[in-house]
Copies of this chain bind each other. A is one copy, B any other.
Amino acid sequence: MHGDPFGSHRVLEPPRALPQAAERLDNDPSRRFDNEIHLAVETLNIDAASFHQMMAASGEKTDGVANLVKKTVKDRGKQHNPVTGSGGMLLGRVAWVGAGATGRGFATGDRVATLASLSLTPLALSAVHAVRPESAQLDVEGTAIVFFSAPMVKLPADLTERLALAVCDVAGAVPQVQRHTRTGDRVVVIGAGGRSGLLACAAAREKVGPSGKVIGIEPGERFAAELDALGVCDQVVRADAREALTVRQAVLAANGGQEVDFAVSCVTSTGVEPTAILVTKPRGKVYFFAMSTSFTAAALFAEGVSRDIDMYIGNGYVEGHVEATFDLVRRHIALRELLTRRYG
């Protein structure tokens, strides 16, 4: 039997919904569709908001969290928190690869992480062995079903699991920066000192070369100093990214009075859309990676100041993104050391 690549063949209700929007999924691993991959699940990485909600609802007791997860998975066929609406991701080993999914390059026994949300992944649990609040993780036994279109990654042998997961989570940044910049380009990275910001700066440095320019915006002194030490930015501007006119002046000063070709926003705070727009030259591009980005704030501001620029909704999926990101981390020793110190 061939399943829908998007997983609608596993939706029980409502009819014709997609798996994320569904109330309940068919999580029966004894039914096998030939373009699915089934996993023996070892660890659930619960979304932070979801884990926090379940801890609070259980009087901060981990047993209560285990029971809530079991109940949600039993009721919905997926760990899709009904209160927060969020999921997380999971780690496990490949248990079965359908004949129609062999082209994806996974083999039985591979240790993998799903990059699609738990909110759309059919999951059956037989046991919860431990709940670890410090990492929002649960050690479990069960089976997950990965749809043909759902992104998944083989964990590399040469990077620690924590580091690999930390960079997988923001793996879109590197290839998107590589795609949208050229030799000699001027680039601004807003929120440059954080995880995706560091990756974006390093990717931009390689791509624009010595004739280009990379300007990082970072308010926190520790992150700014670490970014300076990494040596990928021509200048690190210590400024609050919400101060559009201040940041614009600093960027103009750092770039010979000119706006830049490409701006990337990796900031998690709101209100930075005007800043990204005002540092970018007409017909330049702004790439918004942060989930805190407001569609309307960006659209209305650009129109109100007559800025003819291309504005992108950050797409975390890019063909080959995880390998591109792992490779950047492998060849950039200082970046790898910094990321390992912080997130490894």
Q: How many copies does the complex hold?
A: 2
Are B318 and A308 within 8 A (Cβ)? yes
Distance between Cα atoms of A246 and B246 in the complex (Å)? 49
One of A58-66, A211-219, A289-297 contacting the partner: A289-297
Q: Is A101 an interface residue (CB 8 A)?
A: no
Q: What's the interface size class on A, roughly?
A: 35 or more
Quick one: which of A264-308 are within 8 Å of B by CB?
A: 274, 278, 282, 288, 291, 293-296, 298-308
Distance between Cα atoms of A295 and B306 in the complex (Å)? 22
One of A69-77, A113-121, A226-234, A334-342 contacting the partner: A113-121
Are B311 and A306 within 8 A (Cβ)? no
Are B313 and A317 within 8 A (Cβ)? no
Q: Is A197 an interface residue (CB 8 A)?
A: no
Classify the secondary structure of A's interface with B.
Answer: loop
Residues in chain B near residue A314, CB distance under 8 A: 299
Contact with B along A13-42 (1 / 0, CB 8 A): 000101010000000000000000000000
Distance between Cα atoms of A149 and B304 in the complex (Å)? 8
Are B149 and A306 within 8 A (Cβ)? yes
Distance between Cα atoms of A60 and B309 in the complex (Å)? 42
Are B246 and A16 within 8 A (Cβ)? yes
Residues in chain B near residue A311, CB distance under 8 A: 312-313, 315
Closest-by-CB residue of B relative to A283 is B319
Name A residues whose Cβ lies closer than 8 Å to a Cβ of B. 4-6, 8, 16, 18, 20, 115-117, 120, 149-151, 172, 243-246, 274, 278, 282, 288, 291, 293-296, 298-319
Which 9 residue pairs spanning A and B have beta carbons closest together?
A303-B316, A311-B313, A149-B305, A295-B295, A303-B317, A151-B306, A308-B319, A302-B315, A116-B304
